[in-house]
Amino acid sequence: MNVNCERACDMMHDRLDGILSDADDTRLDAHLSSCPACDTAFAQLMDVDAGLCELRTATVLSEVSHRRHFPLRRVSRIAAGVVLAVGVGLAVRTAMVSRVDPTELHSAVHTAPRIELTAGSAERYLPIVERTDRPDVHIVWLHRMLPAGGKDGSAGDGASLQRPAGVTLEVGARETTPRV
Amino acid sequence: MVIEERAGQDLAESKPPTEYAGRNRLVQLAYRFVWDRADAEDAVQNALTLAHQKRSDLRDESKRWSWLCRIVVRQCFLLRRVEQRRTQRERSSLPAISDRRADSIASSERAELVRWAMDRLPPQQRTAITLRHLEEMPYDRIAAIMEISPSTARVHVRAAREAMRSAIMGRDRDYQLTARQRGGE
């Protein structure tokens, strides 16, 4: 049974969707071989389909390749940034628990397994870990006024951080925006 | 538990949006609408905050994931409209095929052409073709997100493909016409 161009167009899309029956597949091929206009149109649709496949592959986001979590254009309050880094030549504290005050700025490398946050107030801090290009360097941003919890490798209850193995701690500060 | 179920459970348990399971999955979805990671993060953050505030509006709990996706897509279009109004004066009407923009995200010229054509689709077709081809969703899932029937979703995808084909072929003709005109100068 011959198909007309309108039916052939439907069949082209069915083929792209992978739902064309074997019989209709044969009918479509027969039509394309005898209709240059439809043959050209189907070739163009195949090109679009291939381009979409390439676009899909090219737009897969990497979980660790990005560097920026928070848009600086929406700066609204200051949060203490706790940088986990391997530091050479910096002061090293080797106690089991390191105390970090998010409201103070200081630079030190903490190697204790656990870091406790002292806020000087009842406020809780949510640590958000940001990866960097170096696998041994993590930046932890502490957000105020957020529920407790951590993500991305940090295990915290809002008032303390479990330092991941292989990294040490350096405290810094940066303006960022809290995410609720 | 699959990511959709966990995300829905997080929403039901009133977890803060920063802790939603599947947040990265939603960022991936948003990225394919706004083509900028920071914008995608913003759109998802706004969407999750909105979903968190309106979680009591959701009556059918089995449709939480589709509902979340729908809100994310809407936030993406809102973001795009804001960006387009802001850059209206700077945008040219038809970039040359040979342009290599600094923000080109695809290595192949064909993928860039497809992206260009997608960005000119009306919202329904844009959403349907993105969910079908870039997110590889079946038609019943697309229908749930867009709140249409599967057959209507199929119609939107087909219309999008045809529109993209016409746009790309039209652009090719304009390019070749321009090249011939330049050759004759």
ipTM of the complex, rounded to two decimals: 0.79
In this predicted structure, what is the pLDDT of residue A58? 87
Same structural domain for residues A86 and A12? no
Q: Is the pLDDT of residue B183 over 60?
A: no
**Residue A167 belongs to a domain:** yes
What mean pLDDT is predicted for residues A1-16?
Answer: 91
Distance CA(A92)–CA(A102), nearest Å, equals 18
What mean pLDDT is predicted for residues A139-154?
Answer: 44
In whole numbers, what is the pLDDT of chain A averaged over residues?
A: 62
Q: Is the pLDDT of residue A97 over 80?
A: no
Q: Which residue has the tokens 């538990």?
A: B1
Same structural domain for residues A43 and A127? no
Distance set, CA A56 to CA A101, A130, B29, B33, B127 (Å):
45, 26, 11, 12, 14
Same structural domain for residues B66 and B112? no
Q: Two tokens at B22?
A: 């599947």
pLDDT band per the 50, 70, 90 thresholds, residue A107:
very low
Q: What is the pLDDT of residues B18-33, one digit of tens each?
A: 566 688 889 999 999 9
Same structural domain for residues A105 and A161? yes
How many domains does chain B contain in total? 2
What mean pLDDT is predicted for residues A1-7?
Answer: 86
Distance CA(A45)–CA(B155), nearest Å, equals 15
Spatial CA neighbour of A125 closest among A96, A98, A154, A92? A154
Same structural domain for residues B10 and B31? yes
Same structural domain for residues A51 and A78? no
A77 three-class SS: strand
**Residue A154 belongs to a domain:** yes
In this predicted structure, what is the pLDDT of residue A62? 73
C-alpha angle B72/A48/B91, rounded to 5°? 60
Spatial CA neighbour of B43 closest among B66, B72, B67, B69? B72
**Residue A33 belongs to a domain:** yes
In whole numbers, what is the pLDDT of chain B averaged over residues?
A: 79
**Residue A169 belongs to a domain:** yes
Exposed / middle / buried, residue A37 (Cβ in 10 Å: 0-12, 13-18, 19+): exposed
**Residue A97 belongs to a domain:** yes
Same structural domain for residues A46 and A80? no
Chain A residues with CB under 8 Å of a chain B CB are 13, 16-17, 41, 44-45, 47-56, 58-61, 63, 66, 68-69, 71, 126, 128, 146-147, 149, 151, 179-180
pLDDT band per the 50, 70, 90 thresholds, residue B6:
low
Same structural domain for residues A88 and A123? yes
A52 and B35 within 8 Å at the Cβ level: the answer is no
- Domain residues for the domain of B108 are 95-185
B89 three-class SS: coil
Sign of the four-CA dihedral B141, B142, B147, B150: negative
B41 and A69 within 8 Å at the Cβ level: the answer is yes
Query: Which amino acid makes up residue B135?
Result: E
CATH number, domain containing residue B79 = 1.10.1740
Distance CA(B18)–CA(B33), nearest Å, equals 21
> Quick one: what percent of chain A has pLDDT higher than 90?
29
Closest alpha carbon within chain A to B15:
A147
Same structural domain for residues B116 and B51? no
A19 chain-B contacts, CB cut-off 8 A: none
Q: What is the pLDDT of residues A157-172, one digit of tens each?
A: 444 555 556 655 554 4
Tell me the helix, strand and coil percentages in chain A, rounded to 5. Answer: 30, 25, 45
Which of these three, B69, B91, B113, is where a domain ends?
B91
B31 three-class SS: helix
- Our CA-based measurement puts residue B17 at a distance from the nearest CA of chain A, in whole angstroms, of 6
Q: Which residue has the tokens 């064909």?
A: B110
Same structural domain for residues A52 and A77? no
**Residue A64 belongs to a domain:** no
Same structural domain for residues B101 and B185? yes
Same structural domain for residues B115 and B34? no
Distance CA(B110)–CA(B93), nearest Å, equals 19
Same structural domain for residues B106 and B157? yes
A176 three-class SS: strand
Which of these three, B91, B116, B145, is where a domain ends?
B91
Q: What is the pLDDT of residues B91-150, one digit of tens each?
A: 444 444 433 333 445 557 888 889 999 999 999 999 999 999 999 999 999 999 999 999
CATH number, domain containing residue B169 = 1.10.10.10
A140 chain-B contacts, CB cut-off 8 A: none
Residue A171, beta-bridge partner list = A82
Same structural domain for residues A146 and A171? yes
Q: Is the pLDDT of residue B161 over 80?
A: yes
**Residue A63 belongs to a domain:** no
* B81 contact partners, CB below 8 Å, separation of at least 6: none
In this predicted structure, what is the pLDDT of residue B94? 41
Same structural domain for residues A98 and A160? yes
Same structural domain for residues B32 and B106? no
Q: Two tokens at B66?
A: 């589709």
Same structural domain for residues B74 and B24? yes
Same structural domain for residues B107 and B164? yes
Chain B, 5-64: which have a CB under 8 Å from a chain A CB? Answer: 16-19, 24, 27-28, 31-32, 35, 37-38, 40-42, 45, 49
Spatial CA neighbour of B136 closest among A18, A114, A72? A18
- Domain residues for the domain of A23 are 5-58
Distance CA(A100)–CA(A108), nearest Å, equals 10
pLDDT band per the 50, 70, 90 thresholds, residue B55:
confident
**Residue A148 belongs to a domain:** yes
pLDDT band per the 50, 70, 90 thresholds, residue A154:
very low
